[in-house]
Amino acid sequence: MDRKEALARLAALPPVEPDQEYAIDHFRPEDALGVGRLYYEIYGDAYPVDTPYIPERFVEETAKGHILCVVARTPSGDILGASSVYRSSSPNPGCYEIGQTLILRAYRMGRIVFRLYDFKIRNVLPDPRVKAVFGEAVCHHVVTQKFSLRVGALPTGLECSLMPEAAYAGEGAVGRASCLFFGRVNRDRHSLVHTPPCYSGELAVLYQGLNLDRAAGQPQEPTEDCASSMKVEHFAGAGVVRAHLSLAGADLAERLDSVEAGNPAVVQVYVNLADPGCPWAVELLRGRGWFLGGLCPAWFVSDGLLMQKLAAPPDFDRLQLFNDRARAVVDMVRADYRRPAGGAA
């Protein structure tokens, strides 16, 4: 089944009866169509990833442990809500994204969302496969920010203009939606950090409260024969290109030309802070108009530094933020965007 067929199937489903009893439980394969219904009701056809829409693919991903999902299920098998963590963009297979907690509109006035989150905290986050989690909490409201804090994650970055307006049209978003990056490390490993001097103050703030075993490394520029190791992802529906720079090489400028080709709405590069070439790579990016996104704990197993470049200016003034730490993160990103020769046009 392809995306088009799956969307047509979801559109034809009958509505779920209101006022049903339910129980919170781990996902079962027969729940997949009901999970797809949740995504379709909330996002329509705009969600940029196919897997939630296609039941067979969702079942396959859960069987592999790539998705760890919990659901609110009625005795008749209707799925009223779902919450998950899943492997997504991070090169670290132990770093799971805090997935959306989705509730059918007719059931949003109850306590389903809190029960799903509490079940996930007790029964999913302790799973030994989950070494770290991260979340992308939207900033046109503060609900997902509150729930990211509920799982013990802290805001450590801002992904500007990450999602297209259509993805959150039903939630009142105006323009592209920015997201706070939240991080939590469950099982830490010692790692080196090669701090770019330009961001030493920012990283000192962003590491606060994470309680990680980190030591300063000795930066070193890549040699002429050193090639970059970089994985690139294209999210055409969202207008996003995302690159993971594990190792900065002398060919980085050429590789960035390819990443930036076509002037996508958002381009992100996650730079490996354990790579001695990280400070050199960051200066190269800044010289090309990139600006700070933030800290991504355990992104490569070692930590990542997010850098970003946008086709259009972000609207910092419209962001809704839940606490002082979130506001501090936004302030440092905005300051770097507005620096001379920074991200501002």
Q: Answer yes or no: is pLDDT of 214 > 60.
A: yes
Average pLDDT, the chain: 94
Rounded (10°) angle between helices 3-11 and 32-43: 90
The model's pTM is: 0.90
- Per residue in 113-166, pLDDT tens? 999 999 999 999 999 999 999 999 999 999 889 989 989 999 999 999 998 887
**Residue range 20-55, pLDDT digits in tens:** 999 999 999 999 999 999 999 988 988 878 999 999
Q: Is the pLDDT of residue 255 over 60?
A: yes
- Give residue 341's region: left, alpha or beta (phi > 0; psi -120 to 50): left
In CATH terms, 191-321 corresponds, of 1.10.1760, 3.40.630, 3.30.1540, 3.30.1460, to 3.40.630
Q: What is the pLDDT of residue 341?
A: 66
Stretch(es) of the chain classified as CATH 3.40.630.30: 3-185
CATH code for residues 3-185 = 3.40.630.30
pLDDT tens, residue by residue, 290-341: 999 999 999 999 999 999 999 999 999 999 999 999 999 999 999 999 987 6
At residue 345 the predicted structure's pLDDT band, cuts being 50, 70 and 90, is very low
User: What digits encode the pLDDT tens for the residues 46-102?
Assistant: 887 899 999 999 999 999 999 999 999 999 999 999 999 999 999 999 999 998 889
Q: Are strands 95-98 and 132-138 parallel, antiparallel or unpaired?
A: parallel
Q: Which residues contact 137 (CB under 8 A, 6 or more apart)?
A: 144, 145, 147, 148, 155, 179, 180, 182
